Structure 1
Amino acid sequence: MHMDLVAALDIGGTKIAGALVDGHGRILLRAQRPTPAREDGDTVMRAVEEVLGELTSSGLWGRATAVGIGSAGPVDASAGTVSPVNVPGWRGYPLVDRVRAATGGLPVVLVGDGVAMTAAEHWQGAARGHDNALCMVVSTGVGGGLVLGGRLHAGPTGNAGHIGHISVDLDGDACPCGARGCVERMASGPNIARRAIEGGWLPGADGDTSAAAVANAARAGDPVALASFERAAQALAAGIAATATLVEIDIAVIGGGVGKAGDVLFTPLRRALRDYATLSFVRRLTVAPALMGTDAGLVGAAAAALDLEPSAAARLTAPAAGR
């Protein structure tokens, strides 16, 4: 008996990864190319087609029922287009149509990378068993996604749950998105580092000014580094509590590079959450680190296809008699 598979694409500014994923979330085949992010849109698409070519030439391809795509955003699932900030050659690029053509007309599901990570954590990771969850990627930016009523809630364009651009400081710094005081402006890795440097933190002899270096300094007790992580934690807590109050999530999962800071982030985050999540129905909200690691994008793209493309899920779970 051969179980059907889902093809997955994880598209970012540095790499384009592809995989064939089975119904248990296991990756059976991988392919990858660097993203030619500075090239024109068709050159970027050729890299995608090379990844898909490795998948379609495999003997496993005949079992693929759908393609899931998790892409850096903005994405527009309703139009089937992507406009990743870090891939300037793609603006309103018709990725869904191009991928469908390259895969023989399979159903294609497109979501933002934060939604893909959420799908992965709900299927196989820290949000497994939770019917209502917010999952976040806290890295160069801050993205996220929602699970509501046990189902992935991607929204009409595939961007629902984009917590990074909730405003938590009405008079805060201007954000590149056009708003003020966004969670991302305080809690992303580059902004944690920026705030520490502005506060007088000095890097070590290696000159490393990353958020990871600030986290190391915070662990060693540097007060400015600690204060920058406290501020980031406060912003995250305010955004998480607002989301929980709005849609009644019971867990928030945090992944991405900043999430790897450990207690330097999670201790002040849990403390701040007690100050913001005060209503009776959000007090039991828990916060947990993500578990899926670097495969979250691929596993999540597959999970999104299963969750949002009913025919793929039906075929994946149906008995395979006669195959």
Structure 2
Amino acid sequence: MTHALAIDIGGTKIAAALVDPGGAVSHRWTRPTPRTEDPEEVFRTVSRLAAHVLAGAGDTARGAAVGVGSAGPLDPRAGTVSPVNIPAWRAFPLVDRLAESLDRPVVLAGDGHCFALGEHAAGAGTGARALLGVVVSTGVGAGLVLDGMPRFGPSGNAGHLGHAIADPEGEPCACGSRGCVETCSSGPAMVRWARGRGWRPEEPEADAAVLAADARAGDPVALAAFDRAARALAAALLSAAAVVDLDRVVIGGGVARSADVLFGPLRAWFDRLAGLDFLRRVQLAPSTLIGDAGLVGAAALTRLPAPAGAAA
């Protein structure tokens, strides 16, 4: 088995690295996701990162296929992506463009699927029969791994947990609906809600990490923002568990790195809302691969047999 070139595309950052068959990550490059209306500027960031990895890896990257996990929605059969949190890309032909740029086969799946695959292969999801991997960051995404195999769904978009409805009368969502989990539990949504209730951080561009620091310091609005996010997320996780009969949920992403202020209220709401015994047995765990899970999972895509939901 050869190494794989793995690319992880999210609304906050884009990462690329070489991943060996055992899941070890090397030659990593990361850049912020461009805030632009120009689709080519976003693609240039992706292709340059990939080129940097290949150049740095040299002969080690010889024959490496390319696995891509992207925020969605996406059309894996057409190889196009339309991430809610990257408005410059709408039906962007990512697979064809990357395959042409790198002269290598490219496999695409959702970033939530890749996160779940990575955690199942080498992280906190190892050994789970029914795993939901959840990324809480600029958006909220997820992926299922059942009996060792990812479940992409007929359109390739299974796992859009962030667009499950938490409150039908809630805030409008960028997806066109309203009251989605993402309007409560994503980093930008938490910051927006806190600011609307009087939170005034010293940094004008304060993000969820600053909000978490203030929550640790006891700021009541910051604590309330994390509690609100945890309640919506717990409800969505329990709904998923009731449908799929999960045995484990692994949570990662930028917001989830504030585990000390997120997991307390999340577990409290999960326990409070869980009724049936099979829901109460679901294990909640933070990611152990941290920023590597999506890359390890994207590399694993290249070794899957003819995926039903991911396209090359």
TM-score in same-fold range (> 0.5): yes
| Offset at residue 116 of structure 1 (A) | 1.6
| Offset at residue 156 of structure 1 (A) | 3.2
**Structure-to-structure mapping, 1:81-92, within 5 angstroms:** 81-92=80-91
User: 1:43, 1:156 → 2: CA distance?
Assistant: 31
Question: Which amino acid is the alignment partner of residue 294 of structure 1?
Answer: G
User: 2:206, 2:54 → 1: CA distance?
Assistant: 42
Task: Identify the residue that residue 59 of structure 1 maps to in structure 2.
Answer: 59
User: 2:267, 2:160 → 1: CA distance?
Assistant: 21
**Structure-to-structure mapping, 1:258-269, within 5 angstroms:** 258-269=255-266
The answer for unaligned runs of 5 or more in structure 2 is: 308-312
Task: Identify the residue that residue 299 of structure 2 maps to in structure 1.
Answer: 302
Question: Which amino acid is the alignment partner of residue 277 of structure 1?
Answer: A
Picking from 118, 121, 129, the partner of 2:119 is 121
**Deviations 1:137-192 (Å, cap 9, x if unpaired)?**
11121111111122111223332111111002222222221222211111111222
The DSSP-based 3-state class of the residue aligned with 2:134 is: strand
User: 1:268, 1:22 → 2: CA distance?
Assistant: 37
| Offset at residue 261 of structure 1 (A) | 1.9
Question: Which amino acid is the alignment partner of residue 124 of structure 1?
Answer: A
The answer for unaligned runs of 5 or more in structure 1 is: 311-323
**Structure-to-structure mapping, 1:105-254, within 5 angstroms:** 105-106=104-105, 108-203=106-201, 205-206=202-203, 209-254=206-251
The DSSP-based 3-state class of the residue aligned with 1:307 is: coil
| Offset at residue 253 of structure 1 (A) | 1.3
User: 1:56, 1:262 → 2: CA distance?
Assistant: 34
The DSSP-based 3-state class of the residue aligned with 1:144 is: strand
Cα–Cα, structure 1 residues 90 and 169, in superposed 2: closer, same or farther, change >3 Å? closer
Question: Which amino acid is the alignment partner of residue 298 of structure 1?
Answer: L
| Offset at residue 18 of structure 1 (A) | 2.7
| Offset at residue 117 of structure 1 (A) | 1.4
Using the aligned pairs only, state the percent identity: 51
Question: Which amino acid is the alignment partner of residue 231 of structure 2?
Answer: Q
TM-score normalised over the length of structure 2: 0.87
Question: Which amino acid is the alignment partner of residue 93 of structure 1?
Answer: F
**Deviations 1:86-126 (Å, cap 9, x if unpaired)?**
544432122212223344453x2211222221111111111
CA contact (8 A) 2:12 2:138 kept: no
Picking from 2, 8, 11, the partner of 1:10 is 8
**Structure-to-structure mapping, 1:278-317, within 5 angstroms:** 278-307=275-304, 309=306
Instruction: Figure out how many residues of one structure are paired with residues of the other and give that number.
Output: 305
| Offset at residue 273 of structure 1 (A) | 0.7
User: 1:85, 1:95 → 2: CA distance?
Assistant: 15
Q: Which has the larger radius of gyration?
A: 1
User: 2:86, 2:172 → 1: CA distance?
Assistant: 23
**Deviations 1:28-84 (Å, cap 9, x if unpaired)?**
4445566555364445444444444445552123342x3211123222112111123
| Offset at residue 133 of structure 1 (A) | 1.1
Question: Which amino acid is the alignment partner of residue 115 of structure 2?
Answer: M
| Offset at residue 13 of structure 1 (A) | 4.9
User: 2:265, 2:277 → 1: CA distance?
Assistant: 21
Larger mean CA deviation between 134-143 and 13-22 belongs to: 13-22
| Offset at residue 243 of structure 1 (A) | 0.1
| Offset at residue 16 of structure 1 (A) | 4.2
The DSSP-based 3-state class of the residue aligned with 2:280 is: coil
Question: Which amino acid is the alignment partner of residue 20 of structure 1?
Answer: L
**Deviations 1:176-213 (Å, cap 9, x if unpaired)?**
2122221111111122222223333333x445643223
The DSSP-based 3-state class of the residue aligned with 2:303 is: helix
TM-score normalised over the length of structure 1: 0.84
Task: Identify the residue that residue 24 of structure 1 maps to in structure 2.
Answer: 22
CA contact (8 A) 2:131 2:247 kept: yes
User: 1:214, 1:175 → 2: CA distance?
Assistant: 21
Cα–Cα, structure 1 residues 209 and 32, in superposed 2: closer, same or farther, change >3 Å? closer
| Offset at residue 254 of structure 1 (A) | 1.3
